[in-house]
Amino acid sequence: GAGVATMVLVILVLSWFFRWDRLDAILPRLAGVSAIFLALYLVIKSIDFTVHGKWNFVFGPDITWETKVFWAEMLLQVLIPLVIFALPTRRNRALLWIGSASAFIGLIMHRINTGIVGYFTTSDAVYIPNLSEFILSFGVVSGAGLLFFFLIEKFPVLVGTGFGAPE
């Protein structure tokens, strides 16, 4: 769900960067697919809480600061995009920006929540990535971006769109 919403965000950014409007027709459909997966994620998460008896950490007496982080994550990653993408408003470009950016930020929060914050209560030490891990992560993302732009500019990936290598 949030992954498909991230694809919507990437297309929106690229269409702004390259002044595309040819991909606008697929954005509402991708947003609709994202809404389906986000709703499915919400159902699976609810089943998980029920099976493992964890609702007391979400609604009640065992609420901690981590619960508040979880609610912020769910609001950004699932609820806001789900509402925007499930309604006909998904044809509105500004709302697509809001919904996809919200899902992307929520997805990042989820990764931080499960990868770093989740260790706060289960270990005696706080894990903070060192500089080389940050540099490596930035390098991987930068390399993927450079590869993408290289492929778009040098090969006929976007044949018929007016962008990329000559036909």
User: 94-130 pLDDT, tens per residue?
Assistant: 899 999 999 999 989 888 877 777 676 667 776 777 8
Look up tokens 């709703």; give the residue: 39
- 35 and 83 Cβ atoms separated by less than 8 Å: no
What's the whole-number mean pLDDT along residues 79-103?
A: 88
Contact 11, 156 (CB under 8 A): no
What is the DSSP secondary structure assignment for residue 122, as one 8-state letter? T
Q: How much is the average pLDDT of 152-159?
A: 73
Compute the distance between CA of residue 83 and CA of residue 101 in angstroms, rounded to an integer. 14
Which pLDDT value is given to residue 36?
A: 92
Rounded CA-CA distance 8/28 in Å is 9
For residue 81, is pLDDT > 90?
yes
* pLDDT band at residue 159 using 50, 70 and 90 as cut-offs: low
Q: Kindly report the number of other CB atoms within 10 A of residue 59's CB atom.
A: 10
Average pLDDT across the chain, whole number: 83
- Give CA–CA dist 42/106, Å, rounded: 14
Report d(CA 37, CA 52) in Å as an integer.
22
Q: How confident is the model at residue 158 (pLDDT cuts 50, 70, 90)?
A: low
pTM value?
Answer: 0.70
Q: Would you say 90 and 103 are in contact if contact means Cβ atoms under 8 Å apart?
A: no
Q: Is the pLDDT of residue 141 over 80?
A: yes
Rounded CA separation 78/109 (Å): 12
At residue 166 the predicted structure's pLDDT band, cuts being 50, 70 and 90, is: low
**pLDDT at position 100:** 92
What are the backbone dihedrals phi and psi of residue 99, each rounded to the nearest 5 degrees, phi first? -65, -45
Angle at 153 between CA 149 and CA 155, to 5 degrees: 110
pLDDT at 38: 92
CA distance 76 to 147: 29
